[in-house]
Structure formats: structure tokens, C-alpha cells
Chains A and B, each alone.
Chain A
Amino acid sequence: QAQLVQSGAEVKKPGASVKVSCKASGYTFTNYGISWVRQAPGQGLEWLGWNGPHNGNRDYAQKFQGRVTMTTDTSTSTAYMELRSLRSDDTAVYYCAGRVLYGMDVWGQGTTVTVSS
């Protein structure tokens, strides 16, 4: 059974960085890569970007260019998303999502990132 398991909640101060991990199991992780989506409190879904399975291809939303880095460790089937220069409006639940058959058909449980002084 395809599964993505994310790292635990984080509390960061403004200006700091956060790195969230996402470990895949039960499917061929290296086929399609991982997308990252976030959800601010009480808000909708926002796509941050996608990282291909071998770190050769990646695509970031323009809004996060220069502040986000997505990487993949294929040896451990783990994807990472680092967001730098955190602001209070980066407070959100961050999800990783992968593809087994189509689109984003497997999701992690979410990682709550709280940015507060």
C-alpha cells in the first residue's frame, strides 16, 4: 500500500528555515517525484512545487522561488522541502503528495509549521 510519512510539527522564529521530510513506501517512488502543497489555517490549498525523482528536474511556484529547495534521497525514498526566511504567513500545514497512477494520488499526513516570535 502506497504511503507517505512526514516529519513532525515544527515551531520556528521569523527569519529561520524549516526542512520537512517525506518518506515513501509501498510504491515506486522514483517514477514521478513528489509535489508539495500547503494549507494555511482555515484556508485552501496552495502548490509550492515539484521535485523529480532524481533531482534533475524540479519546478517551483514563482512565489517561492529563491526561498524553497526541494530534494530527494532515492537511497532512502525520502523527499525534503526546505523553506527559508520564514514569515508569519508561512504558518501552515505542509503536505507532500506523490503519484502512483495519476496526479497526486497519495498524500502524506501533513506537517504543521508554526512561525512565531
Chain B
Amino acid sequence: DVVMTQSPLSLPVTPGEPAAISCKSNQSLLHSNGYNYLDWYVQKPGKSPQLLIYLNSNRASGVPDRFSVSGSGTHFTLKISRVEAEDVGVYYCMQALQTPPTFGGGTKVEIK
């Protein structure tokens, strides 16, 4: 199975400041079609996970443009340009290139 590693485990942030979460895979997620098969999910407190970003850089419906992803192959970074209080939660990256899909361990974003 593809191993996904996220860092940091916890990310205290000040509202209005940027934040970044790293996600690494032990195999390239770049498909021959040019897409990186990497998705991001966020689980807000007490809620089910929800899709945030798909195919590396596409924001899901309703996701604000302060969320972006950079990287390709085995190393990716989720960036929040200006953190807002509603962004608190646990962020997971997930590779969708191979079965089974595998998730990173999660990064908890909290407000300072």
C-alpha cells in the first residue's frame, strides 16, 4: 500500500496568518495523464470528513480560494493563505492513484 506521511501533527495558527501542511507519499502519485491523484479532506470538529481538494489542485464545490495545493509526484503542500476561525479541524491527504486509497495521519489545525 502507498504510505502517506503528513506534517506537522498539530498546527496552531493566528487568524489572518498563512498556514501550510506537508504531505508526502512513498510512491509517485503522478499519473500518465498528467494529474496527481491526491485529494485533501477536512474533518471539522464533530463532523464527517468533507472533500476539500481533488486531483491535487481542484477545489471542491464551495471551498474558498484561500485554499491551494502545490507540489507533484511525492511531495505536496496544502496552503491556507489567511486562516479563518472556520478552518479549524483535521486535514487529511489521501492518495487515489492505487487501491486501496490511503490517508495521511492527519494535521490538526487550531486557532492560537
Contact = CB atoms under 8 A, between A and B. Distances in A.
Nearest to A50: B99
A42 to B, nearest CB: 11
Interface string B8-30: 00000000000000000000000
Interface in A35-73: 35, 37, 44-47, 49, 59, 61-62
Contacts of A37: 49
B96 interface: yes
Contact of B102 (A47, A97, A102, A105): A47
Contacts of B58: 102
Interface residues of A, number: 21
A107 B39 contact: no
A2 to B, nearest CB: 10
Interface of B: 39, 41, 43, 48-51, 54-55, 58, 60-61, 92, 94, 96, 99-106
Interface of A: 35, 37, 44-47, 49, 59, 61-62, 95, 97, 101-105, 107-110
